[in-house]
Amino acid sequence: MAATTGLESFVDQIISVITNDGRNIVGLLKGFDQATNIILDESHERVFSTKEGVQQLVLGLYIIRGDNIGVIGELDEELDASLDFSKLRAHPLKPVMH
Protein backbone atom coordinates (compact mmCIF):
# COMPACT_ATOMS: atom_id res chain seq x y z
CA MET A 1 0.00 0.00 0.00
CA ALA A 2 2.70 2.44 1.01
CA ALA A 3 4.19 2.27 -2.47
CA THR A 4 1.20 3.99 -4.01
CA THR A 5 0.51 6.46 -1.24
CA GLY A 6 2.30 9.28 -2.99
CA LEU A 7 1.81 10.87 -6.34
CA GLU A 8 3.86 8.29 -8.31
CA SER A 9 0.79 6.94 -10.05
CA PHE A 10 -0.10 10.43 -11.34
CA VAL A 11 3.27 11.14 -12.96
CA ASP A 12 3.01 11.79 -16.72
CA GLN A 13 -0.77 11.92 -16.34
CA ILE A 14 -2.96 14.94 -16.81
CA ILE A 15 -4.00 16.19 -13.44
CA SER A 16 -6.31 18.85 -12.12
CA VAL A 17 -4.97 20.80 -9.18
CA ILE A 18 -7.16 22.75 -6.80
CA THR A 19 -5.05 25.35 -5.08
CA ASN A 20 -5.64 26.92 -1.70
CA ASP A 21 -6.52 30.23 -3.33
CA GLY A 22 -9.35 28.53 -5.22
CA ARG A 23 -7.78 28.15 -8.65
CA ASN A 24 -8.12 25.07 -10.82
CA ILE A 25 -4.97 24.32 -12.80
CA VAL A 26 -4.78 21.46 -15.29
CA GLY A 27 -1.52 20.09 -16.66
CA LEU A 28 0.89 17.21 -17.05
CA LEU A 29 2.50 16.13 -13.76
CA LYS A 30 6.25 15.89 -14.37
CA GLY A 31 7.44 15.55 -10.80
CA PHE A 32 6.83 16.08 -7.11
CA ASP A 33 8.59 15.87 -3.76
CA GLN A 34 7.81 15.06 -0.14
CA ALA A 35 6.41 18.52 0.51
CA THR A 36 3.90 18.04 -2.37
CA ASN A 37 5.67 20.67 -4.45
CA ILE A 38 4.84 19.73 -8.04
CA ILE A 39 6.00 20.38 -11.59
CA LEU A 40 3.17 20.95 -14.05
CA ASP A 41 3.95 21.05 -17.75
CA GLU A 42 1.69 22.48 -20.47
CA SER A 43 -0.58 23.77 -17.77
CA HIS A 44 -3.64 25.92 -18.11
CA GLU A 45 -6.06 27.42 -15.68
CA ARG A 46 -9.78 26.77 -15.85
CA VAL A 47 -11.65 29.82 -14.71
CA PHE A 48 -15.20 29.16 -13.52
CA SER A 49 -17.76 31.87 -13.42
CA THR A 50 -21.53 32.24 -13.17
CA LYS A 51 -21.66 34.76 -16.01
CA GLU A 52 -20.10 32.73 -18.79
CA GLY A 53 -18.70 29.29 -19.58
CA VAL A 54 -15.35 28.05 -18.32
CA GLN A 55 -12.44 30.09 -19.67
CA GLN A 56 -9.05 28.45 -20.26
CA LEU A 57 -5.88 30.45 -19.70
CA VAL A 58 -2.59 29.07 -20.94
CA LEU A 59 0.06 29.08 -18.21
CA GLY A 60 2.91 26.86 -19.40
CA LEU A 61 5.53 25.29 -17.14
CA TYR A 62 4.77 25.76 -13.45
CA ILE A 63 6.24 24.78 -10.13
CA ILE A 64 3.46 24.90 -7.55
CA ARG A 65 4.45 24.94 -3.91
CA GLY A 66 2.90 22.19 -1.79
CA ASP A 67 1.69 24.70 0.80
CA ASN A 68 -0.65 26.07 -1.81
CA ILE A 69 -2.13 22.74 -2.95
CA GLY A 70 -5.45 21.33 -1.78
CA VAL A 71 -6.42 18.53 -4.13
CA ILE A 72 -4.67 16.76 -7.00
CA GLY A 73 -7.07 14.82 -9.15
CA GLU A 74 -6.26 12.47 -12.00
CA LEU A 75 -8.17 13.70 -15.04
CA ASP A 76 -10.15 11.07 -16.91
CA GLU A 77 -9.46 12.37 -20.41
CA GLU A 78 -12.42 10.63 -22.01
CA LEU A 79 -14.76 11.98 -19.40
CA ASP A 80 -13.17 15.39 -19.69
CA ALA A 81 -13.59 15.44 -23.47
CA SER A 82 -17.29 14.69 -23.06
CA LEU A 83 -17.91 17.82 -21.02
CA ASP A 84 -19.13 21.00 -22.62
CA PHE A 85 -17.16 23.61 -20.71
CA SER A 86 -18.80 26.47 -22.58
CA LYS A 87 -22.04 25.57 -20.80
CA LEU A 88 -20.63 24.98 -17.31
CA ARG A 89 -21.44 27.74 -14.85
CA ALA A 90 -20.25 27.83 -11.28
CA HIS A 91 -18.88 30.13 -8.67
CA PRO A 92 -15.12 30.01 -8.38
CA LEU A 93 -14.05 27.81 -5.46
CA LYS A 94 -13.52 29.51 -2.15
CA PRO A 95 -10.00 29.85 -0.85
CA VAL A 96 -8.95 27.37 1.81
CA MET A 97 -9.44 28.87 5.27
CA HIS A 98 -7.25 27.26 7.88
Partner 1 sequence: MLPLSLLKTAQGHPMLVELKNGETYNGHLVNCDTWMNIHLREVICTSKDGDRFWRMPECYIRGNTIKYLRVPDEVIDKVQEEKTRTDRKPPGVGRGRGRGMDDGGARGRGRGASMAKMSGNRGAGRGRG
Partner 2 sequence: MLFFSYFKDLVGQEVTVELKNDLAIRGTLHSVDQYLNIKLENTRVVDQDKYPHMLSVRNCFIRGSVVRYVQLPPDGVDVDLLHDAARREARGG
User: Rounded to the nearest whole angstrom, what is the least distance from the CB of residue 67 to partner 1 in the complex?
Assistant: 5
Query: What is residue 43's three-state secondary structure?
Result: strand
- Binding residues for partner 1, per CB under 8 A? 19, 21, 30-39, 41, 59-68, 98
Buried-exposed string 56-91: b where 16+ CB fall within 10 A, e elsewhere: eeeeeebebeeeebeebeeeeeeeeeeeeeeeeeee
**Cβ distance to partner 1 smaller for residue 17 or 54:** 17
User: Rounded to the nearest whole angstrom, what is the least distance from the CB of residue 65 to partner 2 in the complex?
Assistant: 11
User: Rounded to the nearest whole angstrom, what is the least distance from the CB of residue 31 to partner 2 in the complex?
Assistant: 14
Q: Which does 60 bind (CB under 5 to 8 A by kind): partner 1, partner 2, none?
A: partner 1
User: Whole-angstrom Cα distance, residue 49 to residue 92?
Assistant: 6
**Cβ distance to partner 1 smaller for residue 34 or 82:** 34
Query: What is residue 79's three-state secondary structure?
Result: helix
